[in-house]
Structure 1
Amino acid sequence: MSNEYEITIKQQKGRIDKVLAEIIPDKTRSAIQLWIKDGYVLVNDEAVKTNYKVQAGDEIKITEPELQELDVVAENIPLEIVYQDQDVVVINKPQGMVVHPSAGHPNGTLVNALLYHIHDLSGINGKIRPGIVHRIDKDTSGLLMVAKNDLAHEKLAAQLKDKTSIREYVALVHGVIPHEKGTIDAPLGRSKLDRKKQDIVDGGRDAVTHFRVLERFKDFTLVSLTLETGRTHQIRVHMKYIGYPVAGDPVYGPRKTLPGNGQFLHAKKLGFKHPKNNEMMVFEKEIPEIFEETLNKLRNISE
């Protein structure tokens, strides 16, 4: 079912595509431009061009086009299943694997692999995200939980919302952090300069990250991070915000960084209450080999 928006312009000024991108959450300017070109956006009941300048009192009606469902097929992709029962699966996702299909990644995703290895998954998030309760970025490795039925999905999602689940990450960051621990409490939202990025923005969604120093090197620091909230790119944006971007991060980190396959960020620990018996379950997975090799090289340099 498509979304419909009715917006009255009060004080906003400028091109309609730019104004709507600022008003409508989680929609890129390029997507809105396509809506306008395809006639899904009406101003005072008339179609306009993308360079139309909004005026006070304009009545804008938008009928968001329905997304075309991707053909999600089961693929025999190797998958490390850490735990599985009738309700829950815990996966150790490798670095470089996208969690669910999208226009840019129609196959080769975790969902494609899940459909092959596991034949009963929650349908709450639809065909594109069956069983997916939460996600981690493509180039972040580590643990995530998958629901095998709708009741399990609802209970696991509630734990994420209530902040009762455990999610601990390990990251290698640029710079030497002088203090032993800290908390980053800074709201996140879509960047006004680059709609594909997240940023610290006034009025953004609450985001809290706790960190603790594990080891210091010549120009880097290994940290443990605990999420209180789970916003998109939260750790990566928060660490950049305090001046210690994640090493290898192609989006938020410096160009001159450590060689690897993306950011040195690993979801090491995952804990939750089992959706059926309420028993606390905690899983841990050590960092991938390339991460460990990089740490050993830094230790040799620091000696």
Structure 2
Amino acid sequence: MNITFCIVRTTERLDRFLADQLAVSRTQAGRLIADKRVTARGKPLRASAVLEPGIEVTVELPEKEAPRTFAPAHAELRFVFEDEHLAVLDKPAGLVVHPGPGHWDDTLVNVLVGRGTELSRGATEGRPGIVHRLDRDTSGLLVVAKTDLAHRRLAGAIERRAVKRVYAAIVWGHLRKSAVDIEAPIARHPTERKRMTVAQGGRHAVTHAGVVARFAHTDLLRVRLGTGRTHQIRVHLAHVGCPIVGDREYTFGGSRRVTPSARMEAERLEALAPRQLLHAAALSFVHPVTSEPIAVTSEWPADLRPALAEAAADANLLAQRNPLQYLGFFASDD
């Protein structure tokens, strides 16, 4: 199977680019390059090649063995769109997206298998259908591919930034301006390997954040991904001094923008926040096969509503069927 990427901006080295786009290790990406399976303009590329805008990079993936067997699992899923090519679902919090260490048979992939959903082979073994991911404790909208054709085209659309992913987040502290573009490289933490951090030499990362509502000590943000790095939103918001309420990994740190009163508010909200207050609330893209425009939204989940009401000091939010809509979250179309 061949996958072609059209480079739309200057990016990092080829091996890093492939590792990210194909969701494989750099060693695996390097093996593809060494085997001369990665070409541009008909010529093999070196691992150190720096990609330039306009270049089309073609990757010849080796023929896969028979797909591994995934143990079926069962959990309630809400599908907001589905046809023979793809499905868009509302992932609940606590569900890991694909199998890996510690979670081999209780992931979204296992649930889809248990449901009988056909899935694409995926770009890497063990992740059938998975085009993009959400953290385990992040809820909201996720698209999965059922066919290899849909998978290739969706992956290309994400690389071209043609898939718009918008998140709702409640952060403590206040953004410096009503809208900010956070551009800071992200790398794996040097000592805590499960965490990410902003670091020179990390991977290019861009997050766009805008204030929907300002509360006493917190902001409700509308966050849009410019890139899709691991833990990107959580890392970037903590980096600018506005960590997400309920996030146990990326917290205040040495931020100078958070006041003592905000810390007290955070402690009260922590008691109401079972997890980070981050939800994938809107997703839009052009259908990779039918060219139909797809635009779906997901309301603020029930388990996070008490924390939202507390942050906003508005008990009426508990009775609202659509609290994000009530607060004007979906009014913006940026």
Which one of 160, 168, 177 corresponds to residue 170 of structure 1?
Answer: 168
Q: Which amino acid aligns with 1:210?
A: H
Q: Which has more radius of gyration?
A: 1
Q: Is the 8 A contact 2:309 2:315 kept in 1?
A: no
Task: Provide the residue aligned with 2:248 in structure 1.
Answer: 250
Q: Is the 8 A contact 1:97 1:138 kept in 2?
A: yes
Task: Provide the residue aligned with 1:279 in structure 2.
Answer: 292
* Percent of matched pairs sharing the same residue: 40
Give 1:219 deviation, angstroms.
1.4
Q: Distance in 1 between matches of 2:68 and 2:99?
A: 8
Q: Distance in 2 between matches of 1:261 and 1:70?
A: 35
Task: Provide the residue aligned with 1:157 in structure 2.
Answer: 155
4+ runs deviating over 3 angstroms: 254-257
Q: Is the 8 A contact 1:100 1:128 kept in 2?
A: yes
Give 1:176 deviation, angstroms.
2.4
Task: Provide the residue aligned with 1:133 in structure 2.
Answer: 131
Q: Which structure 2 residues correspond to residues 183-194 of structure 1 after superposition, within 5 A? A: 183-194=181-192
Q: Distance in 1 between matches of 2:113 and 2:270?
A: 35
2:109 pairs with 1:97: no
* Higher mean displacement: 216-225 or 133-142: 216-225
Task: Provide the residue aligned with 2:275 in structure 1.
Answer: 262
Q: Structure 2 vs 1, CA of residues 192 and 127 (structure 1 numbering), >3 Å: closer, same or farther? A: closer
Give the 3-state SS of the residue equivalent to 1:153 in structure 2.
helix
Q: Which structure 1 segments of 5+ residues have no match?
A: 1-24, 27-68
What are the Cα deviations for residues 64-115 of structure 1, in whole angstroms up to 9, with x where unaligned? xxxxx98621112211111110101001001111111112112221111111
Q: Which structure 2 residues correspond to residues 1-303 of structure 1 after superposition, within 5 A? A: 72-126=70-124, 128-254=126-252, 256=267, 258-259=270-271, 260-300=273-313
Give 1:119 deviation, angstroms.
3.0
Q: Is the 8 A contact 2:209 2:224 kept in 1?
A: yes
Give the 3-state SS of the residue equivalent to 1:184 in structure 2.
strand
Give the 3-state SS of the residue equivalent to 1:210 in structure 2.
strand
Q: Distance in 1 between matches of 2:314 and 2:78?
A: 33
Q: Distance in 1 between matches of 2:170 and 2:247?
A: 10
What are the Cα deviations for residues 4-51 of structure 1, in whole angstroms up to 9, with x where unaligned? xxxxxxxxxxxxxxxxxxxxx99xxxxxxxxxxxxxxxxxxxxxxxxx
* Higher mean displacement: 113-122 or 219-228: 113-122
Give 1:290 deviation, angstroms.
2.3
Give the 3-state SS of the residue equivalent to 2:270 in structure 1.
coil
Q: Is the 8 A contact 1:172 1:247 kept in 2?
A: yes
Q: Distance in 2 between matches of 1:125 and 1:111?
A: 14
Task: Provide the residue aligned with 1:42 in structure 2.
Answer: none
Give 1:289 deviation, angstroms.
1.1
Q: Which amino acid aligns with 1:181?
A: A
Q: Is the 8 A contact 1:273 1:279 kept in 2?
A: yes
Give the 3-state SS of the residue equivalent to 1:189 in structure 2.
strand
* Higher mean displacement: 193-202 or 224-233: 193-202
> TM-score, with normalisation over the residues of structure 2?
0.67
Give 1:174 deviation, angstroms.
1.1
Q: What RMSD in Å do the two structures reach over aligned CA positions?
A: 2.2
Q: Distance in 1 between matches of 2:174 and 2:116?
A: 43
Q: Distance in 1 between matches of 2:142 and 2:177?
A: 30
Q: Which amino acid aligns with 1:99?
A: V
What are the Cα deviations for residues 203-241 of structure 1, in whole angstroms up to 9, with x where unaligned? 211100000001111211110000010000000000010
Q: Which structure 2 segments of 5+ residues have no match?
A: 1-18, 21-66, 253-265, 317-334
> TM-score, with normalisation over the residues of structure 1?
0.73
* Higher mean displacement: 171-180 or 200-209: 171-180
Count residues with an aligned counterpart: 237
Q: Distance in 1 between matches of 2:223 and 2:116?
A: 31
Q: Distance in 1 between matches of 2:124 and 2:161?
A: 24
Give the 3-state SS of the residue equivalent to 1:213 in structure 2.
strand
Give 1:247 deviation, angstroms.
0.7
Q: Is the 8 A contact 2:131 2:155 kept in 1?
A: yes
Q: Structure 2 vs 1, CA of residues 87 and 302 (structure 1 numbering), >3 Å: closer, same or farther? A: closer
Give 1:301 deviation, angstroms.
7.1
Q: Distance in 2 between matches of 1:195 and 1:258?
A: 25
Considering fraction of residues, name the structure with more helix: 2
